Amino acid sequence: MPKDDAEAAANRPRLALHVPEPKFRPGDKVDFTYLDLPGAGEQPRPDEACAASETNPLCTDLIRVLGDDNLAHGPWDPRLAPERLRGILREMALVRAFDARMYRAQRQGKTSFYLKCTGEEATSVAATHALDFEDMIFPSYRQQGCLIARGYPMLEMVNQIYSNRADKLKGRQLPILYSAKSVNFFSISGNLATQLPQATGFSMASAIRGDSKIAAAWVGEGSTAEGDFHSALTFAAVYNAPTIFNVVNNQWAISSFSGFAGAERTSFAARAIGYGIAGLRVDGNDPLAVYAAERWAADRARSNNGPTLIEFFTYRAEGHSTSDDPSVYRSAEEFAEWPLGDPIARLKNHLIAIGEWSEDQQAEMDRELAEQVLKATKEAEKNGILGHGLHHPFHTMFEDVFEELPWNLREQSKAAIREREIKWPE
């Protein structure tokens, strides 16, 4: 290197990488005042057929309906009937009761694994209510509320979690990786973000066939860093696929906070701008705002105006799973201080404020739901629990891949069954 170039290089500032760091760690005092939270009802509601660019300001704003006075405000108020709101409240409370019982079952050794969605119930329950039943849901692993909202039997959910003899998936999926064709709920995959290109493909196929079914997919904010996310949005944008991409930003991906997926730079909804599609950033703990945004996106997709990316801004109140201890990486005060509150409490307080509910009715409903969940789990336990017998017959491990079992698999099946009978004649 010439002397002049060497001297110039020596005078340049040294390069440095930025490593994202959450604002609060265990033991820290939590203060969320740095969040820019606009008032309820302040956000404009463009027509569903608007140009995608009209939604650009809503990608960094925050659509809210329920105010601090527990009343609905602004143009995004979906004006749902009280009976409909009570149904959503009941289903969110049922999801929470189900989560509590399944968490306890895992701790009792009845299953190996479970994921709760405490604090995020609105992002699945209220959003599902905004879709048509025929629309295909492509979930991630924290959308048990979609199944509850579509009336899927809890007994079948528990059977799957226990991988017992009544499990319709025959023990081939990990606990909570449900699949329910009867309610148009696509198989959950443990591989992150694979459901997004699948959702785009389904909606493209629906359009090619001239059908009216759209696709709605859910993904955590951390999974937006996966290549499948970008592949799905590219195809959806290019072909105007009738797809809704729901990004549940619950602030944490296991022990990595959302900054590692890009949250320090801008919102996740802002990624819609780069793809030229509609985008909305929504208070994910406001069931009315969640419903309104999902309905807006569904109507837009169904009228051939293209895909929408929705960011539900919420908070994961519990650990990532039963294998996770959040106290080692985040402050215990975070959920209590979360300024957007709890979705169940907010909808309950709204119904009380408009004279359509009471604390006594809430207490009675919670008791009734706890008994309903307990009854379903006791019934499921008659079919067996994980690792304690009552499983599907051994021969079923060779079935359901081919319409007719090939000769080599028939031979393998006979050999395996014969060996099993020799080793365990009982």
* Interval 203-251: pLDDT, tens: 999 999 999 999 999 999 999 999 999 999 999 999 999 999 999 999 9
The pLDDT of residue 154: 98
Domain ranges of the chain: 32-381, 394-423
Taking alpha carbons only, the member of 47, 132, 48, 95 closest to residue 347 is 95
Quick one: average pLDDT of 248-274? Answer: 95
280 has a pLDDT exceeding 90: yes
Residue 309 bridge partners (DSSP): 245, 279
Contacts of 411 (CB under 8 A, 6+ apart): none
CA–CA distance, 219 with 97 (Å, rounded to integer): 23
> Hey, which residues are catalytic here?
316, 320, 329
3-state SS class at 103: helix
The pLDDT of residue 389: 66
Sign of the dihedral through C-alpha 33, 123, 224, 113: positive
Least-confidence region, from 59-73, 134-148, 160-174: 160-174
Quick one: average pLDDT of 6-16? Answer: 83
For the record, the structure tokens of 207 come out as: 């359009």
- From 1.10.10.10, 3.10.450.230, 3.40.50.970, 3.40.50.2300, which CATH number describes the 32-381 domain? 3.40.50.970
Contacts of 1 (CB under 8 A, 6+ apart): 9
> What rounded mean pLDDT belongs to the chain?
95
Name the phi and psi angles at 278, rounded to 5.
-70, 145
Quick one: average pLDDT of 175-198? Answer: 96
pLDDT tens per residue, range 59-110: 999 999 999 999 999 999 999 999 999 999 999 999 999 999 999 999 999 9
Least-confidence region, from 6-10, 273-277, 380-384: 6-10
The pLDDT of residue 188: 97
Name the phi and psi angles at 266, rounded to 5.
-165, -175
pTM of the model: 0.94
Quick one: average pLDDT of 328-346? Answer: 95
Burial of 94 (0-12, 13-18, 19+ CB in 10 A): buried
397 has a pLDDT exceeding 90: no
Q: Is-contact 238 1, C-beta < 8 A?
A: no
